[in-house]
Copies of this chain bind each other. A is one copy, B any other.
């Protein structure tokens, strides 16, 4: 890790924050973000910088950063571009270690605005200050109660390090994680990446003990060789999940006007991922869920999947999707089928997928899952929609005096599912075969399986696609780790393809 990245400690855990552009004009970024920052409960010293005001939302304001009495670790900027550049020397003079530049109007506008961006970076670097942005939405670090960012949204603390070249995409990723019952350690909307780039955060997160998995959204890569080297070192330590946009001509054009990104040939980027051991995902809605799956779950030691299904059609769809992703749905041994058969009604048709046959007692599900996990015939188990709880608002239209209202039954199930999650968690550790539960979940359900499972450190997948993509990603990572172990202690031998990294940068 480059020595200057030590400044990121101040970025994520500042003792004090200067907010250049804090205001009480609702609708302005300087209001929204300052408001979010104080609502997040930040406990360090907070200094609004605004020459036109005595105070902002109850905090004493200062005309410039130089006028602040105490020390300042972090500065946040929401003023127009030229004023950001003008404020940097003040920050440097004050000993500010890190800045978050929210303001837009830099390189993405081209021409003189790109020059302005270069000037800002030069001044900051000369003064030993690192910068996030510009043209991002900010950062968050829940452990520090630090939320200097655009969204009025406060994810809980977790074990994921996130860096995104788009703020809105970051929000979607984080929402997926939160809905699954997980949180985030640090999230960074890196914007134009004028100074700090995605790979710098890979390097920092790789050394950060509170981060166990790294996730990122990328549109462009400024220096392919640097990216590859740093990403490779990070991926050797922790899983690094990447979604890359701007793959197509239309997408690339959009990316250029978004963050001024340079095009990267998609095929070449794919090869970078393979060489660096990055886990590339192709569905932005799944990226967060795939990441949480790496927490607390053993890796599958191969591509053989045992499918357990609450309904035949779902098993058929799952078998198709496994095939699409080069996962196998192997035949089970006669012994395994025989063991399972003892727990099944007489109209059961033996096979993989194991069709649990509608109406099977829930008590049999865990024993059947255990047989599969211990069979030696599969590397992972995927149970589909076993007992999904009903969608709210679709209850019986009439209360027939003689009928049984099942929602009462379901309310009692919360405890049962909690117990199930605990057994499942310990069995995964014991047998070292991962289980990928697929089910509907969320607040719109009579019971929220996502929360119950998340509380027990188990990720639940909303779709079969999600589970299959996750199994594939984790099986790939297991293989990569194995290759890495074999490769050591010799020299790294995979970096040859990109000796001349100019190849992965197309000139604009």
Interface residues, chain A, CB within 8 Å of chain B?
Answer: 26-29, 32, 35-36, 38-41, 57-59, 104-105, 108-109, 137, 145, 150-155, 164-169, 171-172, 175, 178-179, 217, 219, 245-251, 253-255, 257-259, 283-285, 307, 309-320, 322-324, 328-329, 347, 349, 351, 353, 355, 357-359, 361, 385, 390-406, 440, 442-444, 463-465
Residues in B whose Cβ lies below 8 Å from that of A404: 26, 35
Give the shortest distance, in Å, between A82 (CB) and chain B (any CB).
Answer: 12
Residues in B whose Cβ lies below 8 Å from that of A57: 400, 402-403
Chain B minimum-CB-distance residue to A113: B347
Task: Assess whether A153 is in contact with B391, with CB atoms less than 8 Å apart.
Answer: yes
Give the shortest distance, in Å, between A357 (CB) and chain B (any CB).
Answer: 7
14 contacts between A and B (CB under 8 A): A32-B359, A36-B396, A39-B400, A39-B405, A41-B400, A57-B403, A166-B312, A168-B311, A168-B312, A168-B314, A172-B440, A251-B316, A251-B319, A253-B319
Task: Assess whether A349 is in contact with B108, with CB atoms less than 8 Å apart.
Answer: yes
Task: Assess whether B320 is in contact with A175, with CB atoms less than 8 Å apart.
Answer: no
User: Given the known A-B contacts A153-B394, A167-B311, A443-B442, are A248 and B320 also in contact in the complex, defined by CB atoms under 8 Å?
Assistant: yes
Residues in B whose Cβ lies below 8 Å from that of A357: 104
| Residue in A29, A57, A254, A357 with the greatest tally of chain B CB atoms within 10 Å | A254
Task: Assess whether A313 is in contact with B169, with CB atoms less than 8 Å apart.
Answer: yes
Task: Assess whether A402 is in contact with B58, with CB atoms less than 8 Å apart.
Answer: yes
- The distance in angstroms between the C-alpha atoms of A177 and B320, with both chains bound, is 24
Task: Assess whether A403 is in contact with B39, with CB atoms less than 8 Å apart.
Answer: yes
Task: Assess whether B398 is in contact with A41, with CB atoms less than 8 Å apart.
Answer: yes
User: Given the known A-B contacts A152-B406, A394-B178, are A255 and B310 also in contact in the complex, defined by CB atoms under 8 Å?
Assistant: no
- The distance in angstroms between the C-alpha atoms of A399 and B154, with both chains bound, is 13
Task: Assess whether B351 is in contact with A250, with CB atoms less than 8 Å apart.
Answer: no
Task: Assess whether B465 is in contact with A251, with CB atoms less than 8 Å apart.
Answer: no
Task: Assess whether A175 is in contact with B313, with CB atoms less than 8 Å apart.
Answer: no
Give the shortest distance, in Å, between A454 (CB) and chain B (any CB).
Answer: 11
Task: Assess whether B175 is in contact with A248, with CB atoms less than 8 Å apart.
Answer: no
Residues in B whose Cβ lies below 8 Å from that of A40: 396-398
Task: Assess whether B347 is in contact with A104, with CB atoms less than 8 Å apart.
Answer: yes
Chain B minimum-CB-distance residue to A153: B394
Task: Assess whether A397 is in contact with B154, with CB atoms less than 8 Å apart.
Answer: yes
List 7 tightest A-B contacts by C-beta distance, closest first: A166-B313, A168-B311, A258-B312, A251-B320, A39-B396, A248-B323, A443-B444
Task: Assess whether B152 is in contact with A390, with CB atoms less than 8 Å apart.
Answer: yes
Residues in B whose Cβ lies below 8 Å from that of A398: 39-41
Task: Assess whether B320 is in contact with A179, with CB atoms less than 8 Å apart.
Answer: no
- The distance in angstroms between the C-alpha atoms of A398 and B385, with both chains bound, is 37
Residues in B whose Cβ lies below 8 Å from that of A246: 316, 320
Task: Assess whether B58 is in contact with A329, with CB atoms less than 8 Å apart.
Answer: no
